[in-house]
Structure 1
Amino acid sequence: MGFPEVKFRVVENRKCPHFNYGDTFCVTGIAIAMKSDEDNSYITTSVVHTPYERKSCKILNADLTRLIIQYERGDKIPVCMINCSGCTGSIRLEHNKDDLFSLEDNDAILSDELASMMNLLSGFAFFKSIDQNNLDKVMQYFRMKTFKSGDIIIRKGEVGGNFFIIASGSVSVLNEGGIAISTLSKGDVFGEMSLICNERVSATIQVKEPASILYIDRDNFTKIIDRYPTVQLYFSRIMANRLNKSNTIRAADLSSGMIGNLSDIPAEALFQTLNMNCKTGILTINELSKGTARFSFRQGSLIKAKYAELSGESAFYEILKEYGGRFRFTPGIPPEEFETPEIGYFMKLLMEGMRRLDEVKPRPTN
């Protein structure tokens, strides 16, 4: 139609019968008022591309068309979040200006080796988190490298530069003494935490059996994270699973209330666990450098944040700088907070906070 498409992604699903979290809709169109002495007409055209293998929804199409009419052109729609009008359920969608641009790159070409492995790779958990329409685009940014037994892929303490997926073979995760503490095999991933949290590599990875490893550099990894909410959800689940395995915080403790110290549990881990366990309650943190902080959660979403003179996102980012203080989580929130809108999509807040933290203050080492 001559105008760029804009994208809306589902960031919240309230029992919608048609769509899932992370589904993407492409919208384009124009609206023109035709006025003259004899006529006063309004012409509008809009095209809404529904995600692959999803049924078209007239209610949602009407909601998106109203945006075309309001802003006259699809590509003039500003950054926003909207709620569909709803039927038996509803969804919330987000539009970001970055979505005007494609992830495609003329220099990114899917190698013959990767093309021949498409069926295998598409079954991996990471690639399952990506919409089928975008799978080829994302795979273009990966490269393949083979390793022999005994090769070191990354070392503890190095600056993280790549995200890795094991296509075949296996690797060992080594502790500081060089002892294997776990094994990763086909479909498993590593290296993501150093990129997401801007930390140095936390463990050495050594090839156990000859392996073929997919990898992607930091810049392209960040592009994928920013533009595909379902990938963010995939990594948030990994982070939550690792927290659960380490028994840092038990979900049972959260249901009845919890107290502890930030010196034992980093703020980002505490917030992440409350989010992934969909907890509702108030987190109070005392004995901080700037006084007391208070955060409210509803079903895992952060809806209120206050620390010293800061509130909202600013308070959340500031608390991540704290490595001391005592916290208490109390289940339940006041009735007047039941409808309070969330501050922002949690994984985006967390990733942005960790990036800012790395720029401002070195993280303490054990």
Structure 2
Amino acid sequence: MEKKAVKFRDAIFIVTQERSCPIYNVGEEFKVVNCCLSISSFKPGCLFLAQEIVKIISSRDSFGGFSKLGGQRTKFSCGGCEGHVSFEFKKDKDFATLQMKLLNETEEKRRRQHLDKFFGVLRNLTIFEPLDDDALSDLTLLLDLKTIPIDKIIIKKGAPGDHLYILLKGRVAVMADDGSRLAELGHGEIFGEMSLLTGEPISQTVRSIAAVQVAMLSIKNFKQIIVKHPVLQLFLFKMLVERAQTMALRSGNITSGMTGELAEITIVDLFQLINSAQKTGTVSLALDQGKALVFFRDGQIIHARFLKLRNREAILMLLSEKSGHFSYTKGVPAELDRLPPIGEFIGILMEGLQRIDEQRG
């Protein structure tokens, strides 16, 4: 006897509840059309969920005609892994062709509007340069938009990180424990990514200092994009290290191996930081005009080289430099360790600043 072929019905299901599901969020949809199960191209497929949906669409009594008879199941669940999702029957394509067409048109319009809002902004951000346009479109559709008034805490130190934030409008401040501002962030910058990457609680409070508009990416969707695009993960970890160093510098803490840009901290502030911490170490500077070396012992400058200039004259010339890269390493060469300071630190600093003022005048 020939086995009767199983008939699969076309339908749409929507997630109504989730607990610790590693993939899906409330509101996401699964569509079955012509025996094919489709989800967002950005999301990986779950075999447990697919198996459950196959059971549903191949059963005559699962959901067919429920709106007319009222006796069939319309709510389902999947608990095949460590998580759990509940989902409901949304539309039966065979039953509501016109309604489905209108629904698809509405959904497509929403997608286009969402892409119009965010795609161009994200395309111009350095963080998303590794993603091609298709991948960036998938990411864009996962963002939620939120407007936050002035002087509101957006993320609080010690709280668990649950979103990455992309600042579309306005400004926010990264706050120190004493209420001072460690840094300000503006259009196109991101925050909240450190906690998502490390799994640690929020390290610094972020407060709005103007009315802001942010695009938010949930931790679940963030993890999915990181898994799918490892190059983005490497970029984010590099950003984490650089930002941590910048915060350390601004909070008055400099350690061996630290590097940075003079756009983040001026040479004057960098030298003052080493002096106040009474550090013994070497600052290497890569500048537009050439390289420079400055050697400190117990916070005092004992030797400096910049182009053909040495010691005091080298420092006076360096203080006016505004762009370039620096690195700090612990210790000085043995042959320089016994040299006396080239002069009183504050006096040299004041002379250099006075020269800069005279040149501006």
Task: Tell me if TM exceeds 0.5.
Answer: no
Under a length normalisation based on structure 2, what TM-score does the superposition of the two structures give?
0.39
Q: Which has the larger radius of gyration?
A: 2
Q: Which has the higher strand share?
A: 1
